[in-house]
Structure 1
């Protein structure tokens, strides 16, 4: 019997010095997104495409938040801005709501207690995919 040649060892991958891939790179689990949005009552105030119950008319329409979030606060990525907006909704007040200027103190201040970090990440990841095209 002939000896089996071993495959050459793969080279170790280069150290990753780049930021991790954005959350929207992962496939979207719409059941998890819908469950988190429902638990956080996000749809009571926000329009969120793809979530049937998210037809609110109080907070900003989130149809293009993935395209806009990275431009709202210098130095914050889109993911960081959305995450901050969920945990500290009065840190930055969105510029436009359905009835005019958005007001402080409207959004639930305790979403960090109501939602798990994983649920918040699920919501952030989905919102990053919302680019406004055809929505």
Structure 2
């Protein structure tokens, strides 16, 4: 018995519609840096995995401070801004943001002392920093904004490996083996990765708060270790912050080890690494 040509056409149309549904669903699940739900607009300003006490090995453990993540956990720090464009007050709860592991459907709420909702008046803008403490897992993670029935993905990430499970990344020995770097892209990464919080803006020589100032790094970096260019020195320091402790930190005090800087070799791609280094070694226009 031969199949009707109309039946074949119907099956083809059904397959096309099914494919379209899958494409639309995939697009809907793609992370969005900005989103709007139930009157509020949310923008993810920055997200970075913070330093873990075991990152530098058993011989250089950092003290566990009050409010630190539990042993074996890693904290994802997220900065968001929430804006109320409506003419009436609206509430936002920190519990609306959660980190989800899709493989097991496990979710983590933010570690915060503030559990009550915030009330945003008309035209009010709120900046909020939240931390998510994540145990060891190799599974992909998604930051979700759940407001009402809708859940919008804001970020896709993975928990960086800690020192207890680190495998060699296979980074080349020479910075010259990295891709060509973009100083403009590196400037954006310098802010997004939180470098500015410790080292200050490169345009201000005295803006450093914790680590050494990097404002004149394109000059000073080449004098730190004999035979190393500023780019090579930056590269080795990003891979191993304790390889060399800078001589001067804010207030004229000597820098001390172990360095609190994260191991960026765990979380940066080769292109990101090249971009950050290009930004650090590019002379400032006002120099």
Q: Which structure features the higher share of strand residues? A: 2
1:113 aligned to which of 234, 259, 266: 266
Quote the Cα distance in structure 2 between the aligned partners of 1:120 and 1:50: 21
Quote the Cα distance in structure 1 between the aligned partners of 2:192 and 2:286: 27
Cα offset, 1:130, TM superposition: 3.5
Q: Which structure features the higher share of helix residues? A: 1
1:96 aligned to which of 248, 270, 275: 248
Q: Deviations over 1:5-33 (max 9, x none)?
A: xxxxxxxxxxxxxxx7xx99x7632xx22
The answer to whether the Cα contact below 8 Å between 1:59 and 1:102 also exists between their aligned partners in 2 is yes
Larger Rg, first or second structure (1 or 2) = 2
Cα offset, 1:75, TM superposition: 1.7
Partner residue in 1 for 2:183: 28
- Matched residue SS, 1:101: coil
Counterparts of residues 32-47 of structure 1 (less than 5 Å) = 32-47=185-200
State the number of aligned residues: 107
What is the CA RMSD across the aligned residues, in angstroms? 2.7
Distance 1:103 1:50, change over 3 A: same
Structure 1 unaligned spans of 5+: 1-19
Q: Deviations over 1:46-99 (max 9, x none)?
A: 023259xxx540001101010111111112111101111111111110000003
Partner residue in 2 for 1:68: 220
Greater RCO, CA 8 A, separation 6+: 1
Runs (4+) off by over 4 Å? none
Q: TM-score by structure 1 length?
A: 0.66
Structure 2 unaligned spans of 5+: 1-175
